[in-house]
Amino acid sequence: MIEHAYLIPLIPAAASFIILFGAKEDPHSPLPWIGIGAMAICLAMAASILWGFAAGTVALPYEQNWTWFSFATTIGGSSFVYPMSAGVLIDPPAALVLFAVTLVSLMVQVYSISYMHDDKRYKRYFAFVSFFTAAMLGLVVSSNLLVTFMCWELMGVTSYLLIGFWFERTGPNEAQKKAFMTTKLADSGLYLALLLIYVKVGSFQMTQIYQFFNHGYMPAAAATVCGLGVLFGAMGKSAQFPLFIWLPDAMEGPTPGSALIHAATMVAAGILVVSKLFFVFLAAPVAMEAAAWIGLATAFLAASMALVSYDIKRVLAFSTVSQLGFMMCALGCGGYTAGLFHLTTHAFFKALLFLGAGSVIHSVHTNDMRLMGGLSKKMPITFVTMLIAVYAINGLPFGAGYYSKDMILAAVWNHSHAIFWILLVAALMTAFYMTRLFALTFLGDDRDHEKFHHAHESPALITVPLIVLGFLSAFSGAGLAHHGFIDKVLPAPTIAVQPGAAPSASAMSEAPSAETRPVPAVGTPTPSASRIDSESSVVAREKSGEKREEAELPSWLSLTVIALVIAVTLLSAAMYTGPKFAAAEWLRSTFAPAVTVLDNRWYLDAAFLALVALCDQVAALAFWIDDKVVDRVFVDGWGLLMRLFAELSNFLDISLVDAVVDGFGGLSKDVVGEGLRSLVVDGQVQEYLMYAAIAFALSATLILTR
Amino acid sequence: MTLAHYMTVSSLLFLIGIFGALTRRNIIGVLMSIELMFNAANLNLAAFDRFLHPSGAVGQTLAIFTMTVAAAEIVVGLALLLAIYRNTDTTYVEDFNLLKG
């Protein structure tokens, strides 16, 4: 099965084209089932790969490449024909992510059949979703960074299309532009990082780049720049501080589309690329530290913003941002396994939360949680599955989020205690606002009787995906953590030699010499390099061994965390369940300034707008300078100078040169010409003859006396 | 009798012809002077032929041709003279100023 892994992204892509071009738009078109079928095939393939790996029948990592095109190039002073390969590289993390992505996408599509049934662009929506998933799958399986980047950009385009799906309205229109431009700004960082990697390594192949870093050939400064560039790209795609401004607005799109963006595809891509290029970060401690702090800021700020919002989808969007901050922070603290583990479990429960929220919105036709309440009586299946999801995301014991978040906290604890405490506060805030969301929506009494009266349980096409995802949210954490399976699936990559440890001069001269296929010394390491390899890999192994041993929270701390989470959950439930919200109202009025700041999202949007306005002002100033100073002084001034010069030249020409010319003309006409004319004016033949004779005599004399 | 003698005679003839052509007031005299210059040239032709190429008679032949042409030319000249005389009633050259431009 795995030899056909290249089909995993291609099948949904083909399906999306069939859906898009296959038939006319029709609100009851059967074509979306093609996308669902395609995704089911992909899910089966991904599941077979993951299952085969777990059972030991499939060897991972699996790589297969085809030559895409080749071109002549010069790298490191030597010229050669570089064959650009494209292919699949499936390592265990990729297999796990493939499974999660295909499953979530399948669920989202099944759900959308019912959710989108009345939309006039029903078919187009499914084409977008299929294509979106295809791009994400391509990003996961690609062995070539350039192809990865291509899929990354395709995802950017498709997210633009999905967020602005109802483009007739102003909100989605603005949101799609905001998302596209913010992520594009970040993409520039990733692109520059890729270019730098290519310039240094001479290849886009993941394995070759890894070997290059593994042997420490990459200079430390270049590695740092690469790491920061990749991080910047991920900051945009995965909505990290301060570029997360687009994600809360992105929920203007259809809710299942939001589920896909938030859970499986778009935002996961940033984390995934960081994890794919984790060795770059290992070689660049500065970038690693930056990732940790940016993730921390994201987790904290987004969680705090979610505390006060009343829009159910907006709370979920902030929660996504916050959870992505957790993952980024974990990666930055060296918790590779923890970060990706959380990515997987988060995909399940966040998809479930969004689909559940969609089910609620579908039922009551509002996003405002103040108008909901008591829906547990009306929507039992949604209620139970949402309960599982909230249980999971809160990190309550034995839910999916419990294992991954515990792992993150452990990784962070080992890295820095300061980060740990701030992240713990963010985790407690998560528990608080998710419980608040749940209590406001499902518990207590109905607040808007009319909406409550019309509320109803959603049809089977909506509830079945909820149940499947609920099952996964409940058991995926425990299942993956069982017997340390997650450590086997997601082994933290290491690099043997830190940059600077290897003599960089010899490395740089040796790396291009191993080229033609620039495989930097995979097969034939030089003696010196291999010696350094063995020495430092021993050191690295010892270090990682130490870390592995203490990658657990101290038991007292672990129990404290669990106790705190339970306490906060109960507190929040108590505050927001009852018919009166005395405590909540009291908090809101007491801390009104803080609430205002949070309501305005820490003024980050305003800050970005101000930044744009400032740039606009600067551009206007620059234009003014160009128009009034540069053009006036240099261009116009130069022109004026030239004109004056030309006038002067013209004057000289007329008064001097022409005068001389005219003078000679006049001289020859008036003096010589008239003089000669007066001599022969009589018409006397004999005079003519005499002149002829004189002329003849003169010329004869001249000739003869020569 | 050397070539120099012939050339002296022909030069004198030519000069007399020039002088006459430039100074005579009567048009008939001018024409006669022109005939003198023709004959100086003919004499030259014959003399060069005689002394430089004694075997041939190209020069003499050419001289005879020249005389023929000269006779024809005189005819034309006299005809023009008659026409001018009829119009102006004079044969003095200084009274002819048709060429004045």
Task: Write out A427-468 in H/E/C secondary structure.
Answer: HHHHHHHHHHHHHHHHCCCCCCHHHHHHCCCCCHHHHHHHHH
Contact of A152 with A190, CB cutoff 8 Å: yes
Tokens representing residue A208 in the block: 């070759």
Q: How far is CA A304 from the centre of its chain?
A: 24
Going from the C-alpha of A475 to that of each of A385, A467, A646, the distances in angstroms are 13, 12, 88
Going from the C-alpha of A239 to that of each of A154, A179, A249, A278, B82, the distances in angstroms are 17, 10, 11, 18, 123
A85, A119, A143 — which closes off a domain?
A: A143
Span A203-249, pLDDT tens digits? 888 888 888 888 888 888 888 898 999 999 988 888 888 888 888 88
Residue A423 is assigned to a structural domain of this protein: no
Q: A337 Cβ partners below 8 Å, 6+ apart?
A: A407, A411, A486, A487, A490, A491, A492
Tokens representing residue B59 in the block: 């020069």
How do strand A78-90 and strand A62-75 relate by DSSP bridges?
A: antiparallel
CA distance A377 to A447: 14
CA distance A40 to A45: 9
**DSSP per position, A386-427:** HHHHHHHHHT-TTSHHHHHHHHHHHHHHHH-HHHHHHHHHHH
Instruction: Give the bridge partners for A73, in sequence order.
Output: A80
Residue to test with chain A: of B19, B22, B28, most A Cβ within 10 A:
B22
Q: Tell me whether B23 touches chain A (CB under 8 Å).
A: yes
Span A384-412, pLDDT tens digits? 888 888 888 888 888 888 888 888 888 88
Burial of A512 (0-12, 13-18, 19+ CB in 10 A): middle
| Least reliable range by pLDDT among A105-109, A298-302, A519-523 | A519-523
Please determine, for residue A544, whether its predicted confidence score (pLDDT) is greater than 70: no
Residue A204 is assigned to a structural domain of this protein: no
CA distance A48 to A57: 10
Domain of residue A621, residue span: 606-698
Q: A616 Cβ partners below 8 Å, 6+ apart?
A: none
Please determine, for residue A516, whether its predicted confidence score (pLDDT) is greater than 60: no
Q: Could A684 and B97 be called an inter-chain contact, meaning their C-beta atoms sit closer than 8 Å?
A: yes
Tokens representing residue A585 in the block: 């109202």
Tokens representing residue A420 in the block: 């740990």
CA distance A642 to A620: 30
DSSP 3-state assignment of A309? coil
DSSP 3-state assignment of A61? coil
- Choose among A402, A399, A237, A260: nearest CA to A324: A237
Contact of A103 with A43, CB cutoff 8 Å: yes
Across residues A141-164, what is the average pLDDT? Answer: 90
pLDDT the model gives residue B12: 94
Question: Nearest CA of chain B to the CA of A681: how many Å?
Answer: 6
A-contacting residues in B 53-82 (Cβ below 8 Å): none
Q: Please provide the distance, in angstroms rounded to a whole number, between the alpha carbons at the two ends of chain B.
A: 50
Instruction: Give the bridge partners for A78, in sequence order.
Output: A75
pTM comes to: 0.72
CA distance A218 to A199: 11
Instruction: Please report the domains of chain B, with CATH numbers, ordered by start residue.
Output: 3-94 (1.10.287.3510)
pLDDT the model gives residue A650: 94
Beta strands in A116-248 (DSSP E): none
Q: How many residues does chain A have?
A: 706
Q: Which amino acid is at A256?
A: P
Q: How far is CA A45 from the centre of its chain?
A: 27
Residues of chain B with C-beta less than 8 angstroms from the C-beta of A681: 100
Segment (H or E) for A489: helix A485-489
CA distance A226 to A232: 10
Contact of A34 with A127, CB cutoff 8 Å: no
Most confident of A78-87, A499-508, A604-613, A633-642: A633-642
Residue A27 is assigned to a structural domain of this protein: yes
Q: Tell me whether A683 touches chain B (CB under 8 Å).
A: yes
Q: Tell me whether B34 touches chain A (CB under 8 Å).
A: no
Residue A568 is assigned to a structural domain of this protein: no
Residue to test with chain A: of B94, B95, B98, most A Cβ within 10 A:
B94
A500 phi and psi angles, rounded to 5 deg: 100, -30
pLDDT the model gives residue A532: 42
CA distance A293 to A284: 15
Across residues A664-677, what is the average pLDDT? Answer: 84
Residues of chain A with C-beta less than 8 angstroms from the C-beta of B94: 684, 686
Residue to test with chain A: of B34, B84, B97, B98, most A Cβ within 10 A:
B97
CA distance A299 to A281: 20
pLDDT the model gives residue A500: 62
Residue A632 is assigned to a structural domain of this protein: yes
Q: Tell me whether A688 touches chain B (CB under 8 Å).
A: yes
Q: Tell me whether A658 touches chain B (CB under 8 Å).
A: no
CA angle A169, A170, A176 (to 5 degrees): 100
Q: How many domains does chain A have?
A: 2
Tell me the percentage of chain A whose pLDDT exceeds 70: 91
pLDDT the model gives residue A312: 87
CA dihedral (A308, A309, A312, A313) positive or negative: negative
Residue A398 is assigned to a structural domain of this protein: no
ipTM above 0.90, yes or no: no
Contact of A492 with A544, CB cutoff 8 Å: yes
Residue in chain A closest to B20 (alpha carbons) equals A686
Please determine, for residue A585, whether its predicted confidence score (pLDDT) is greater than 70: yes
Residue A462 is assigned to a structural domain of this protein: no
pLDDT the model gives residue A91: 86
Q: Tell me whether B89 touches chain A (CB under 8 Å).
A: no
Q: Could B96 and A685 be called an inter-chain contact, meaning their C-beta atoms sit closer than 8 Å?
A: yes
pLDDT the model gives residue A1: 66
> Is the peptide bond preceding residue A242 cis, with omega within 30 degrees of 0?
yes
| Least reliable range by pLDDT among A16-20, A500-504, B47-51 | A500-504
Question: Nearest CA of chain B to the CA of A677: how many Å?
Answer: 10
Residue from the list B18, B22, B100 with its beta carbon closest to the beta carbon of A683:
B100
Segment (H or E) for A83: strand A78-90
Across residues A507-514, what is the average pLDDT? Answer: 42
Residues of chain B with C-beta less than 8 angstroms from the C-beta of A693: 18, 22
A143, A176, A203 — which closes off a domain?
A: A143
Please determine, for residue A118, whether its predicted confidence score (pLDDT) is greater than 60: yes
Neighbours of A370 (CB within 10 A): 12
| Of A213 and A77, more confident | A213
Q: A250 Cβ partners below 8 Å, 6+ apart?
A: A159, A163, A175, A179, A258, A261, A317
Provide the 8-state DSSP code for A324. H
Contact of A21 with A61, CB cutoff 8 Å: no
Q: Tell me whether A681 touches chain B (CB under 8 Å).
A: yes
Q: Which amino acid is at B84?
A: I
Q: Which amino acid is at A533?
A: D
DSSP 3-state assignment of A71? strand
Q: Tell me whether B92 touches chain A (CB under 8 Å).
A: no
CA distance A187 to A184: 5
Question: A681: pLDDT confidence band, cut at 50, 70 and 90?
Answer: low
Across residues A49-65, what is the average pLDDT? Answer: 84
Q: Tell me whether B18 touches chain A (CB under 8 Å).
A: yes
Question: Nearest CA of chain B to the CA of A706: how many Å?
Answer: 21
Q: Tell me whether B26 touches chain A (CB under 8 Å).
A: no
Tokens representing residue A681 in the block: 């004016």
- Choose among A267, A257, A316: nearest CA to A112: A257
Across residues A125-129, what is the average pLDDT? Answer: 89
Residues of chain A with C-beta less than 8 angstroms from the C-beta of B22: 686, 689-690, 693
CA distance A583 to A115: 37
Tell me what the pLDDT averaged over chain A comes to.
82
Positions of chain B with pLDDT under 50: none
Going from the C-alpha of A338 to that of each of A67, A227, A266, A397, A411, the distances in angstroms are 35, 20, 20, 17, 7
Residues of chain B with C-beta less than 8 angstroms from the C-beta of A689: 21-22
- The three-state DSSP-derived secondary structure of A220-238 is HHHHHHHHHHHHHHHHHHC
CA distance A175 to A162: 10
Across residues A38-43, what is the average pLDDT? Answer: 91
DSSP 3-state assignment of A354? helix
Segment (H or E) for A282: helix A278-282
Span A453-492, pLDDT tens digits? 777 777 888 888 888 888 888 888 888 877 777 777 778 7
Q: Could A683 and B99 be called an inter-chain contact, meaning their C-beta atoms sit closer than 8 Å?
A: yes
Residues of chain B with C-beta less than 8 angstroms from the C-beta of A684: 93-94, 97
CA distance A4 to A62: 11
Question: A540: pLDDT confidence band, cut at 50, 70 and 90?
Answer: very low
CA distance A567 to A569: 5
> Is the peptide bond preceding residue A61 cis, with omega within 30 degrees of 0?
yes
CA distance A309 to A399: 25
CA distance A409 to A148: 30
Q: Tell me whether B31 touches chain A (CB under 8 Å).
A: no
Residue A39 is assigned to a structural domain of this protein: yes
- Choose among A233, A275, A265: nearest CA to A137: A265
pLDDT the model gives residue B99: 67
CA distance A133 to A130: 5
Contact of A480 with A341, CB cutoff 8 Å: yes
A122, A143, A164 — which closes off a domain?
A: A143
Q: Please provide the distance, in angstroms rounded to a whole number, between the alpha carbons at the two ends of chain A.
A: 112
Going from the C-alpha of A148 to that of each of A128, A194, A209, A229, A491, the distances in angstroms are 19, 10, 14, 15, 22
